[in-house]
Structure 1
């Protein structure tokens, strides 16, 4: 269960894409309603399209989501680590109360993918971490890291 080969990350782009999709579906519904009620000859794109649902969905994500927070800008290093932070909490994840010790422990699959040292103290220990130096998230949401193949001990 805790193996990083089986765990998929939801990146910021994916979360914002979902919110924009919600806003676009609301906007589509408004456009369809306006097309049925207005005169065909008098319809213009300006009268049909209202971008407020899309803007409201984006503002809702940045304003109320548990995963949205102000960036730590004390120094460049803290800003960089804040951008590479991994959360096991939030919607679709764990809660501090339900997370047991086995979830918080370092798993062998974390090697090269997640820094085992950089985790906060207190109730979030092991639930919040950072990507390691050479780790990256592929387009499918899995963490990849470079490695060298050892053949005959070399």
Structure 2
């Protein structure tokens, strides 16, 4: 199959997304985001991984939430746990592909789609039902897209 994200050979059972399972940084694992404990090491990994992408208002909001959780200012929601575990696992998949931290690969769209989709499958997530971002982060992303489009 051909897609905007390059050649694909699989469709995610949970995500419903097309991806290339041979280029996803390893096989699908049976992981559970519900048991996540948010800690400094993990938040630093989230920052490291998301820092490789274009500046994102949505990611800033989610990382700020993680910092507040670490500081005891709020309790983690399911969305916080999904975002946290997803970004850490996606980082692992990038590393498994040999992509150094902080580096944006030439085939960024393909790599992101394959690792993102495989990570959704690891955690059995369909983003429509179990979002990785809070409503305010999603709104911030939409507003950022409008600003950048104009």
What TM-score, normalized to structure 2?
0.24
Structure with more of its chain in helix, by fraction: 2
Larger Rg belongs to? 1
Q: Higher RCO, 1 or 2 (CA under 8 Å, sep at least 6)?
A: 2
